[in-house]
Amino acid sequence: MTDITRTKTLGAHENVFGPLVMFVTKVSEADDYCVAHSIFPTGVFVPVHSHEDRETFYVISGKLEYWNGREWTTLTAGDVADVPRNHVHAWTNVSGDDATSLFVTTSKMGRFFKDIMAKNATMPKGSPGPEALQELGMIATRYGYRMGTPEESAAAGLTN
């Protein structure tokens, strides 16, 4: 029997230090995968980082800029970015419109996002400031993820 999930029962988009994320599948405690819908408001960025979890992004609308550790690539509706394990990367939306995507990753990454959502509930929307980046770094460390330094993000053109 197939397990059918209705997204309207899973909640609304929540702030993940900039991007807004809503899980389309449940985030399990098991070593499994999860699917989420994301909205990148214009001007939002995800700083340089890496993690052991593979991620695959499918752009639904708008324009997302993807940093692969060396250069930026523009992704538009229908484009897919497959981020390998431990690959240094970053995201930004410098277009005039919100960008949306579906992404598939591990449930471990989903739990990481849930922890960020819980902490971030009281922080302002938008790209993370210095205090938020410090908090994000502490949560990332608990999961074994690496946040790039402010200098690494600045070298990629990402600054507040």
pLDDT tens, residue by residue, 68-111: 999 999 999 999 999 999 999 999 998 999 999 999 999 999 99
* 118 phi, psi to nearest 5 deg: -65, -45
Confidence (pLDDT) at 68: 94
Confidence (pLDDT) at 5: 56
Superfamily of domain 11-155: Jelly Rolls (2.60.120.10)
How many CA within 13 A on the CB side of residue 11?
13
What residue spans of 1-125 are helical by DSSP H? 107-120
pTM above 0.75, yes or no: yes
